[in-house]
Structure 1
Amino acid sequence: MFFYLLSLIVLLIDQGSKWWVRNHMSVGEHWRVFDPYLHFEYYQNSGAAFSSFQGYGKWFAYLAIVVVGVIIYYRKKGTIRGFVLDAAAAFLVGGALGNAIDRIVFGKVTDFIVWGSGSGIMNVADLAINAGVLLLIVGTLLRSWNERRSYSFK
């Protein structure tokens, strides 16, 4: 249940924040939040990360749906288990679905979060995907460490 609830929360926060940006900002508009550390800039990305593959965004929507299917399959199979890996999977699913919805409905992803001097622009879904990958690495390392530790005591 935790997995589904966290996935839904990530999806709702992502879609709500994008809705707010689309309805309260103009494309290219800047809002200083915590200058110089964080500002919002409305950008529409029709490609992938770092504005690569412009115009091919719908293909990444299909890829996101496949990734979500694979994660759900491995959760049901029992490969993804435990709090950290469950949270990782939820962040990945919520983020992937958030960007997939944008790509399918609008043909592009709404990005607006800029950290520091503008090394990239992202959205809540991207943050969730990054958190999911980080948690996946941590969870995998913890599982490996626990398995080695329990094996050495046998």
Structure 2
Amino acid sequence: MLRYYVVAIVAFAVDQFIKWSVATFMDIGQKIPLISGFIQLTSIRNRGAAFGILQNQRLFFIVVTTIVLIGIIFYLYKIHRKQKELAYALALIFGGALGNFVDRALHGEVVDMLEFTFINYPVFNLADVYIVTGGVLVMINTLRVSRTEKA
């Protein structure tokens, strides 16, 4: 079971390092192209959730994220031996959720920095990538298991 916590801790640590680097070395609003016409670093702060919804709802996010993190810990313990793929997906979600949780708890806002320049899409951070990737993997796993059980 330790391997899943290692995945979560590494995801959390990388997210926090990137956020610290952006907050330390970039001014708010500053943009640095990474791949021209595709993606850039854009230093912004977000006091809400995805797409800027629920602005200034810090206590709400702290309570909900605490419940989610505790739920993931219990569920990981329950499934870690039989459903390894699902456990890795949950570890990614845990690492990302913990990264955004720490930002909100300590600073009241999340550092966002990844911006697609080829579409109009909100700026996001690495923790968001972990959460979405983990969520997609959970859905894929659920569909795969559902099809296996039907067969």
Q: Give yes or no for TM over 0.5.
A: yes
Aligned to 1:121: 123
Q: Is the 1:21–1:42 contact (alpha carbons within 8 Å) kept by the matching residues of 2? A: yes
TM-score between the two structures when normalised by the length of structure 2 = 0.92
Partner of residue 142, structure 1: 144
Q: Is the 8 A contact 2:79 2:87 kept in 1?
A: no
Q: Indicate the SS of the match to 2:115.
A: strand
Task: Name stretches of at least 5 consecutive residues in structure 2 with no aligned partner.
Answer: none
Alpha-carbon RMSD across the aligned residues, in angstroms, is 1.5
Gaps of 5+ in 1: 150-154
Aligned residue in 1 for 2:7:
6
CA distance, structure 2, for counterparts of residue 81 and residue 120 of structure 1? 37
Matched, 1:108 2:109: yes
Distance 1:80 1:122, change over 3 A: farther
Deviates more, 1:108-117 or 1:74-83: 74-83
Residues 80 and 87, structure 2, Cα contact 8 Å, conserved in 1:
no
Identity %: 30
The correspondence for 2:132, drawn from 130, 133, 137, is 130
Q: Which protein has the larger Cα radius of gyration, Structure 1 or Structure 2?
A: 1
Q: Is the 8 A contact 1:74 1:80 kept in 2?
A: no
Give the secondary-structure state (helix, strand or coil) at the position aligned to 1:110.
strand
User: Residue 29 of structure 2 corresponds to which residue in structure 1?
Assistant: 28
2-structure distance, mates of 1:20, 1:118: 25
- For 2:84, the equivalent position in structure 1 comes to 83
Residues in 1 aligned to 2:122 and 2:137: alpha-carbon distance in whole angstroms: 22
Q: How many residue pairs get matched?
A: 149
Task: Determine if contact 1:99/1:109 at 8 Å carries over to the other structure.
Answer: yes
Q: Is the 8 A contact 1:65 1:96 kept in 2?
A: no
Instruction: Measure the CA separation in 2 of the matches of 1:148 and 1:2.
Output: 31
What is the TM-score of this pair, normalised by structure 1?
Answer: 0.91
User: Cα gap change, 1:71/1:80 in structure 2, threshold over 3 Å: closer, same or farther?
Assistant: farther
Question: In the aligned structure 2, how far is the partner of 1:54 from the partner of 1:29?
Answer: 22
